[in-house]
Structure 1
Amino acid sequence: MHFTPSLLLAASIASVAAAPAPIQIGVDDVILHGNGHFMLMKREDFAELEAARNSDKMPPAPAGHDDKLITYTGKDNKPTFNGNETDDSPRQPLSLHKRGTNTIILPKPNTRFLGWDVQMSAVVKGAPTTISVSQGFTIGNSITVGVSSMLTIVKDYLSVTMSTDYSRSWSSIQTQTFMAPVPAGKYGAFVSNAWTTRASGNVWTGTVGGGGDIVPYQADSFSPKQYGDMSWVDGVISLCIKDTFPMPRCLGAGTL
């Protein structure tokens, strides 16, 4: 991603010795990472976020959104059952053989997109009111499969082909404080839209000359970035403002 100097409004690096001073964020500002530190710029100047928020086409849903699939986040090294089990270039299929059956992984090309809003503060009603990034909101790499028995196969395959730790997660902290005003009568919250790398495909299991079953998988991963004293993921942090509560996402479906 390339940012010209004319687009940059301000830049700040937190001091290691002392807690950084609060950074005031406007309703039309976004916080993003570049050149080793975070930057502020107007949302209208950041074309990807503005286009995504105004587009009729929604970005792909995050892991865990489909209640028919099983999601592994690595937080406790166990998959999360959400419901009933029921690079830009293609990778080569992986074929495994066991007791007369074949298991073949058929990967699709990787995709990269700006993900749904991830909440980073409480939702507040403006009186007007000032809010700040809060501690304890999380985001993490994940693997989602259609059947739990396929999880280990997919996880092992991706750990080699993607060189990604799918157990890694990040948590927001209050050491680096971003503050912003919420207009009177509106509802607002800080949100993060992460640059998401998605690996996806299908796992086919069956016998040669016979039938087989196809199970889908997908894996989302993020790149770490430092925003002052806060370790988070590469993407955009901004203020989401809406008229109603529960508060709808500015990017993505559902509410915060």
Structure 2
Amino acid sequence: MKSTVFASLFLSIAAVSAVPIIDGNLATRELQASEVVVVNGNKTEILTEAALHEFYKAEGILMEKPAIDEEWLNFVPEPVNETAAELSARQIRCSPTSSFVIDKEQRFVDWDVQMSPVTLGAGSGILVRVESGWTVSNAVAVSAGIDSKWLKDKLTASFGVSYTRTWTSVTSFSHQTTIAAGFRGVFISQPWTNRKYGRTFQGCPGSMVQTGTFMADSHEEGSYDNARWVSGQITACIKRYGPKQVGTRMTRCNGSGEFR
């Protein structure tokens, strides 16, 4: 039901200012200023930033990546004051089990993921295109002492999401834009990210003890230009390039850090 509402809402908002992408026209139609390629599952459209922001607002998707709760991930289990004999006796009485609970969920537009080399504009403008080899992955962060492989397997079994999944851009991603002289730019993707915070437990039923905490980030499968990628938005990050920027790396338009 959620996915149906999501798709219907997307289409109703997109209809106001969307440019449908027809097979084969990606390489010939340049992305204009304030336009964004939106990949939503197997649907791809070009929206204005204003229309896209309306969609995010209606869907409750955060437009900025929230800070990681480092305190949550710094959990340290309380020491167990048991003798070896007491521990052995307790383990005999039951079959210890491990489990997890989800305490908080967030859905947001993630930071820029690079999808092309940084290109300097010159003359009447230089075309920049998405290129192959750029990646984005699902990920799990855990507090000390937690078996991340066990947790990834448990999360996958519960939510049907592979937390070892990686997507890689390919050369068929052929959209292009122009970088004018005095600027530099790069194609970027901003994946839609689903973040879960949770706790892990171990012990006997009725007397489970918390053993750790975790944060799990996952993306949604998308199809763009006949290739697999993540759902989200694809656009160009373009910044002025002058004497003060010579010798420096280009920084992200959305998020901290630099492009390669």
TM-score (norm 2): 0.69
Q: Given the superposition, is the C-alpha separation of residues 192 and 49 from structure 1 closer, same or farther in structure 2, using an over 3 Å criterion?
A: farther
Larger radius of gyration: 2
2:23–2:225 Cα contact (<8 Å) kept: yes
Shift of 1:45: 2.6
Determine which structure has the larger helix proportion and give its number: 2
Q: Given the superposition, is the C-alpha separation of residues 11 and 165 from structure 1 closer, same or farther in structure 2, using an over 3 Å criterion?
A: same
1:12 corresponding residue in structure 2: 21
Q: Given the superposition, is the C-alpha separation of residues 192 and 146 from structure 1 closer, same or farther in structure 2, using an over 3 Å criterion?
A: same
Shift of 1:236: 0.2
Deviations 1:7-40 (A, max 9, x none): 11x222326xxx9644311232110135943211
1:225 corresponding residue in structure 2: 222
CA distance in 1, matches of 2:117, 2:142: 31
1:202 corresponding residue in structure 2: 199
1:193 corresponding residue in structure 2: 190
Which deviates more, 192-201 or 241-250? 241-250
CA distance in 2, matches of 1:241, 1:135: 20
CA distance in 1, matches of 2:16, 2:64: 30
Deviations 1:89-123 (A, max 9, x none): xxxxxxxx968977553421322111111000111
1:142–1:219 Cα contact (<8 Å) kept: yes
Q: Given the superposition, is the C-alpha separation of residues 46 and 58 from structure 1 closer, same or farther in structure 2, using an over 3 Å criterion?
A: closer
Q: Given the superposition, is the C-alpha separation of residues 4 and 159 from structure 1 closer, same or farther in structure 2, using an over 3 Å criterion?
A: closer
1:200–1:217 Cα contact (<8 Å) kept: yes
Please list, as runs of the form range in 1=range in 2, the aligned pairs for 1:97-108 lying within 5 A after superposition: 105-108=100-103
Shift of 1:252: 1.2
Shift of 1:194: 0.8
1:30 corresponding residue in structure 2: 36
Q: Indicate the SS of the match to 1:6.
A: helix
2:41–2:221 Cα contact (<8 Å) kept: no
Shift of 1:138: 0.8
1:114 corresponding residue in structure 2: 109
1:166 corresponding residue in structure 2: 163
Please list, as runs of the form range in 1=range in 2, the aligned pairs for 1:87-166 lying within 5 A after superposition: 105-127=100-122, 128-147=125-144, 149-166=146-163
For 2:233, give the aligned amino acid: V
Q: Indicate the SS of the match to 1:13.
A: coil
Q: Percent identity?
A: 26
Q: Indicate the SS of the match to 2:147.
A: helix
Aligned length: 218
Q: Indicate the SS of the match to 2:155.
A: helix
Shift of 1:172: 0.8
TM-score (norm 1): 0.70
1:28–1:42 Cα contact (<8 Å) kept: yes
1:247 corresponding residue in structure 2: 250
Q: Which runs of 5+ in 1 are unaligned?
A: 52-56, 70-96
Deviations 1:165-201 (A, max 9, x none): 1222211111231110112212211111111111221
CA distance in 1, matches of 2:43, 2:173: 13
Deviations 1:52-108 (A, max 9, x none): xxxxx941368xxx8xx8xxxxxxxxxxxxxxxxxxxxxxxxxxx968977553421
2:85 corresponding residue in structure 1: none
CA distance in 1, matches of 2:222, 2:64: 25
For 2:132, give the aligned amino acid: Q
For 1:14, give the aligned amino acid: D
Q: Which runs of 5+ in 2 are unaligned?
A: 1-8, 58-62, 74-89
CA RMSD of aligned residues (A): 3.6
CA distance in 2, matches of 1:22, 1:219: 39
